[in-house]
Amino acid sequence: MAVPIEHSHGLPEDGKTVAPQFEKGDGPVERLILCCELGGSIVIWPTCVRPVSAEAGLSSRFVMSKSQTAKLPATVDPPGKRSGNLNRRPWWRRRIVRSLAVVGILLGLAWAFAIPSRLLQLQARRQLMNGCPHQAMNWLKWAGTLNGSTAELEFLKARTYRVQGEMNLARQHLEAAWRLGYPVEQLEREQVLAMAQSGQLRDTEPQLSKMLTDSRGDIADVCEAFVTGYLRTYRMRQAERILTAWLADSPSQPRSLILRAKMQIELLNWKSAEQDLRRVLDAVPYHAEAADLLAGVLLKQKQPDAALKVLPVAVKAPQTRLSAQLRQVECYRLQGNEEAAGQLLQSILIEFPDSLQAHLELGSVESDAGAYGPAIEQLETARKIAPNSPEVRYALAIALRGAGREAEASEHFEYVAEARKAVAEAMSLRSKVEENPNDASLRCHIGTVLLDHGQTERGLVWIQSALEINPGFVPAHERLATYYEGRAGESEEFSKLAVTHRKRSLTP
Determine the structural domain holding residue 50 and report its residue range: 1-72
The verdict on residue 440 lying in a domain is yes
Give the CATH number for residue 382: 1.25.40.10
pLDDT in tens, the chain (508 residues): 444 444 444 444 444 444 444 444 444 434 433 333 334 333 344 444 444 444 444 444 444 444 544 444 444 444 444 444 445 556 666 677 677 766 666 555 554 455 677 888 888 888 888 889 999 999 899 888 877 889 999 999 999 999 998 998 999 999 999 999 999 999 999 999 999 998 888 888 888 888 888 766 688 899 999 999 998 888 888 999 999 999 998 888 899 999 999 999 988 999 999 999 999 999 999 999 999 999 999 999 999 999 999 999 999 999 999 999 999 999 999 999 999 999 999 999 999 999 999 999 999 999 999 999 999 999 999 999 989 899 999 999 999 999 999 999 999 999 999 999 999 998 888 888 888 888 999 999 999 999 998 888 889 989 988 988 888 999 999 999 999 998 888 888 889 999 999 999 887 6
The verdict on residue 79 lying in a domain is no
Q: Tell which of 37, 55, 72 closes a domain.
A: 72
Shared-domain flag, residues 1 and 24: yes
Q: Tell which of 372, 401, 421 closes a domain.
A: 421
Rounded to an integer, what distance in angstroms lies between the CA atom of residue 319 and that of residue 161?
Answer: 13
Whole-Å CA distances, 200 to 167, 338, 466 = 13, 45, 10
Rounded to an integer, what distance in angstroms lies between the CA atom of residue 174 and that of residue 118?
Answer: 19
Shared-domain flag, residues 416 and 441: no
Q: What is the pTM of this model?
A: 0.73
The verdict on residue 383 lying in a domain is yes
Shared-domain flag, residues 498 and 436: yes
The verdict on residue 269 lying in a domain is no
The verdict on residue 105 lying in a domain is no
Shared-domain flag, residues 417 and 477: no
| DSSP label at residue 506 | T
Q: Tell which of 40, 72, 104 closes a domain.
A: 72
Identify whether the C-beta of residue 400 lies closer than 8 Å to the C-beta of residue 409: yes
Rounded to an integer, what distance in angstroms lies between the CA atom of residue 280 and that of residue 362?
Answer: 32
Rounded to an integer, what distance in angstroms lies between the CA atom of residue 321 and that of residue 316?
Answer: 6
Q: How many domains does the chain have?
A: 3
Shared-domain flag, residues 435 and 417: no
Shared-domain flag, residues 451 and 413: no
The verdict on residue 413 lying in a domain is yes
Shared-domain flag, residues 413 and 391: yes
The verdict on residue 276 lying in a domain is no
The verdict on residue 436 lying in a domain is yes
Shared-domain flag, residues 447 and 489: yes
Shared-domain flag, residues 402 and 433: no
Shared-domain flag, residues 407 and 443: no
